[in-house]
Structure 1
């Protein structure tokens, strides 16, 4: 029986961590290595991990300084000894047969097995929704160049093929030999850019419709992310390099896709400023620098992006209408906080 390493990055997850860990130690597939990587939590997360460590010898606990999810997941990959690796976020949980069902798909030796997942609002999952995209209409195997043309292309356009690291089973060697893209990021985007790299390397992928992973909605943070703009622009550069190398036959279409993705993410960078301790003057100076970034300038010149976005939005970026962009960021920030509060209230009721 092949060993599966489950990597759980943990940061201040005390309220949800027990449910996550219980779902792992009670898996019907027993040949597991459960790697808990505590990323400098300041709450009771470490204490909870230590309690589970005493209960199950398959658990390995790594306590380290806070470095963010990229370094935390990579530490788990480095420590893993299983033939396969899967990731579970500390505030989510999984079906008791998840590993068994994923391992039931490896007879044909796929490099990656992907399952469906439920998006839920509470511990009891009374309100849940699974991914209904065409990628999960039936169980299927994608091989060779079809991975590039049918799967990886989704990462350039925001299509509903999951770019998350959870709800997937990877060959360990594939992950251990990857990571060049995420090394260029500081905090954000490791899911997308690690997947981008490993899917381009994969020879075979098995996709099953079984929803085996329970992802908690409403977990996006409203705290300031100082590296957000760096990571979205560096991510654009990574995608552009990949497209120019692998997609000369469809260059224009995919450059349009990543331009649209970048300018959508730019709105989140504007929103992110309002979670910062910056003064209004500092925000204004930052927005001006954002608008001058070569990736943003290039994206605003893309023909597909010009068809997709309003002229007012693109004009505000091109001509550095700082007040307009600041107001857009504030409006989005206030709407986001309202949604967070509603989801939190709904989760308590459920």
Structure 2
């Protein structure tokens, strides 16, 4: 194993101080020790700063950066600007790594440019304090721009914390700060634009925390940002045939959802005029006053 490879861990923090100790401890306990951690306080109003500064005093591998609130992507990009390592690990402060993640990831590395090492993950339920199986099982055949574009959310999604990325990838692409959700999907699409050398470790080496207060539970918010991300796909997907395939697939999925909605409306048993039915639909969709 090459102990000269340095891993930079970017941890964006926003009002989740309650989880920060567990997150940092998962780094302190790594069996591979050549790492640095950049804690980015994104304008937190809780005691994030106090906890971060205490850890900085205890371990000189930990750096602390404070900024005004700009969102998750902005905080990650600030972290990227401060990394000095060869590979970058993104880690939200409510998640944590298993102790051998870095050691096992570094063993896979043969090139230090255009390289990604991905591991499997588990879910952690905060409410019950239990570890659960992941929402999808990752497979190596998923790691291409085509698969990430066409099968994201339908077949799989990859938590950003599963990977370590060579520094050149994150410095080239960064995170789109206009997106307040779906930024991970967009980043993965960018990262696989040039088909990076990918190493996959099937073992579970991190925990992704399930939190009922998470933004991922706001469906309208997620849909709104998915539309924004789709609007930017031409910047990332250079294969126009692939882009057309995606839009065709997305259109068919939308039509199917609309048909299911109409079937539910028909089950309500409306037998009156077409105008009456249309008005009922508009009311159900919240587009017409009752």
TM-score under structure 1 normalisation? 0.67
* Alignment of 1:206 onto 2:180: no
Shift of 1:187: 2.0
Counterpart of 1:158 (choices 147, 154, 169) is 154
Post-superposition Cα deviations, 1:70-115, rounded to whole Å, max 9, x if no partner, equal 1000001111111100111101111011111111110255611110
Q: Secondary structure at the match of 1:200?
A: coil
Shift of 1:167: 1.2
Equivalent positions of 1:1-350 (< 5 A) are 1-107=4-110, 111-122=115-126, 126-130=130-134, 132-133=136-137, 135-136=138-139, 140=140, 147-155=144-152, 158-162=154-158, 164-179=159-174, 182-183=176-177, 185-219=178-212, 220-221=214-215, 231-239=225-233, 242=236, 245-248=238-241, 250-257=242-249, 259=250, 302-310=251-259, 312=261, 322-326=282-286
1-structure distance, mates of 2:124, 2:256: 35
Q: Secondary structure at the match of 2:247?
A: helix
CA gap 1:12/1:322 in 2 versus in 1, 3 angstroms:
farther
Shift of 1:313: 5.7
The equivalent residue for 2:269 is: none
Shift of 1:315: 11
What's the C-alpha RMSD, in Å, of the aligned pairs? 3.2
Shift of 1:246: 1.2
Shift of 1:307: 3.1
Q: Which runs of 5+ in 2 are unaligned?
A: 266-277
Q: Is the Cα contact below 8 Å between 1:9 and 1:36 reproduced in 2? A: yes
Shift of 1:234: 1.7
- Kindly indicate which of the two structures has a greater share of residues assigned to helix: 1
Structure 1 ranges of 4+ moved more than 4 A: 222-230, 240-243, 313-316, 319-322
CA gap 1:256/1:204 in 2 versus in 1, 3 angstroms:
same
The equivalent residue for 2:271 is: none
TM-score under structure 2 normalisation? 0.80
CA gap 1:141/1:32 in 2 versus in 1, 3 angstroms:
farther
Post-superposition Cα deviations, 1:223-258, rounded to whole Å, max 9, x if no partner, equal 989976653322121235655x3141x55541133x
Post-superposition Cα deviations, 1:185-243, rounded to whole Å, max 9, x if no partner, equal 24222211111111112331111111111111124249989976653322121235655
CA gap 1:227/1:122 in 2 versus in 1, 3 angstroms:
closer
Q: Compare relative contact order (CA 8 Å, sep 6+) and give the higher one, 1 or 2.
A: 2
2-structure distance, mates of 1:52, 1:196: 34
**Greater Cα shift, 34-43 or 98-107:** 98-107
